[in-house]
Amino acid sequence: MTIEFENPKPVEQARFLLQTVADNMMRPVSREMDENEHAIPFGYVEFMNTAMKAMGSGSAGSLAPSEGKNSDDPTRAKRPSIAYQLLANQLEMLAWGDVGMYLITPGGGLGAAAVQAAGSPEQREKFLARFNGEKPTFAAMCMTEPQAGSDTSAIRTRAVLDENTREWVITGEKIFVTAGDKSFNDHPEFGKGFIVVWASIDPSAGRAGMRSFVIEAGTPGVKVTKLESKMGIRVSDTASISLDGARVPFENILGSPTVERTTTGFKGAMATFDATRPLVAATGVGVARAALEEVKKMLADQGVTIHYGLPRQKLSSIEKDVIEMEVMVKSAWLMVMKAVWMADNKQPNALESSMSKVKSGDIVTKVTQKAVEILGPLGYDREFLLEKWFRDAKITDIYEGTGQINRLVVARQILGYSGSELR
């Protein structure tokens, strides 16, 4: 049996294209976008919207190609899927360019991923097809609340069914919604997006009563109340959203409206993260690789050579640091590849997904910090991007499940404990 570590041709082609985008459309404006928080680089957004269609993006609005019902390749059905492997490579490259700008790439993001994972065929057709429209379109996931971060059982947003109108009436507050403004507010440059809101239809049932609802842009009773001013990923909007008696069509619930005293439905919805956490991990690797490559380039410009293959005791302190940074980046990337390979082959990957997220969140903070440390004043100077990457890095360890929560997931998977048994 042969084990190959080279990327398939479609992956290499996509990386080449996005390398060009990163070099020519992201890096040149990276500092400007950081200095002007929430400014929208429309040139990049519009180009990527067109490029995604040219690459044959799926209706979920991702950068990954569709698995191709219309493919003219008769052998395609016999080959293993590489959709998640391709997407991980694409996101790693875009994050290498600028992780904040990657986050405003048109598409469905977590909102579309939730519809894809828990929606009916009719819901997928209705909500995901809009990402193939002419205008850039966005979707967002609304889960976190002021009192409910990693502990989703503390969510207080409530959805009550109005039997007379057959509508869900939703009331609550959501915070830290990535792309919440672009997904919900009416921007004439964008298509009509949506948000996916987590709420309880039966608080007494605990997590078994949790459901997610698709709420279309412009729905009365829903309002973006705040845009966060952040340390990093400043070009990406992070919103607070209030819901005050928002009326949502009955058919917009994702999953069954019937509550059974089991967490099966909740676990099914949470499975969305098993597919997306390795992709977030990939973006962390992209930022870490950017910092590592910049350090090596700046050291080379100063005449510093990294002597690979020598015994550790013969290496300088800087050489040891750089080699250790390389080990961290490459090991994190291998963990991402394992998790996405499992997703492509429809194997349960909750353990590997969380492990890749933990590893990436850990190494990107260490690598970017060490990069600033090695270069001293140059690493701290705003003339260069190293200090920006240092600020951008930490979000990898926070969103889509903090490092602490993902460590708990890993421990539960290895030890066989439930969430209630190991908290």
Question: Which amino acid is located at 385 in the chain?
Answer: L
Domain count along the chain? 3
Does 121 share its domain with 106? no
Please report whether residue 310 resides in a domain.
Answer: yes
**How many whole angstroms separate alpha carbon 137 and alpha carbon 139?**
7
pLDDT (tens digit per residue) in 14-35: 899 999 999 999 999 999 999 9
H or E element in which residue 94 lies: helix 83-102
Does 256 share its domain with 272? no
Query: Residue 73: pLDDT above 70?
Result: no
**154 vs 54, residue with greater confidence:** 154
Does 257 share its domain with 124? yes
Mean pLDDT (whole number) for 392-406: 93
Query: Which residue in the block uniquely carries the two structure tokens 């404006």?
Result: 29
Query: Residue 70: pLDDT above 60?
Result: no
Mean pLDDT (whole number) for 178-193: 94
Does 239 share its domain with 284? no
Domain holding 213: CATH number? 2.40.110.10
pLDDT (tens digit per residue) in 89-109: 999 999 999 999 999 999 888
Candidate ranges 57-66, 123-132, 294-303; pick with highest mean pLDDT: 294-303
Query: Residue 267: pLDDT above 70?
Result: no
Domain holding 379: CATH number? 1.20.140.10
User: Counting beta carbons within 10 angstroms of the beta carbon of residue 226, is it exposed (0 to 12), middle (13 to 18) or buried (19 or more)?
Assistant: middle
pLDDT (tens digit per residue) in 361-380: 999 999 999 999 999 999 99
Does 294 share its domain with 217? no
Query: Residue 55: pLDDT above 80?
Result: no
Q: List the one residue out of 44, 3, 2, 14 whose CA is nearest residue 282.
A: 14
Please report whether residue 253 resides in a domain.
Answer: yes
Strands 210-216 and 253-254, by their bridges, are antiparallel
Does 404 share its domain with 273? yes
User: Counting beta carbons within 10 angstroms of the beta carbon of residue 128, is it exposed (0 to 12), middle (13 to 18) or buried (19 or more)?
Assistant: buried
Please report whether residue 422 resides in a domain.
Answer: no
| DSSP secondary structure code for residue 186 in this structure | -
Does 217 share its domain with 77? no
Q: Where are the alpha helices (DSSP H) in 22-82?
A: 30-35, 42-54
Mean pLDDT value across the chain: 89
pLDDT (tens digit per residue) in 308-323: 999 999 999 999 999 9
Query: Residue 148: pLDDT above 60?
Result: yes
Does 86 share its domain with 188? no
**Which letter, b or e, does each residue of 70-80 get, where b requires 16 or more Cβ atoms within 10 Å of its Cβ?**
eeeeeeeeeee
Concatenated DSSP letters of 244-255: EEEEEEGGGEES
Does 396 share its domain with 408? yes
Q: What is the pLDDT of residue 138?
A: 95
Looking at the chain, the whole-number percentage of residues with pLDDT higher than 70 is 90
Of the three residues 199, 231, 261, the one that is the final residue of a domain is 261
Does 256 share its domain with 270? no
Please report whether residue 423 resides in a domain.
Answer: no
pLDDT (tens digit per residue) in 325-354: 999 999 999 999 999 999 999 899 999 999
Q: What is the pLDDT of residue 341?
A: 93
Does 144 share its domain with 99? no
Does 371 share its domain with 292? yes
Which residues are marked as active site?
400
Q: What residues have CB less than 8 Å from 252, skipping those under 6 apart?
A: 123, 168, 213, 214, 215
Q: In terms of residue numbers, what domain contains 52?
A: 9-110
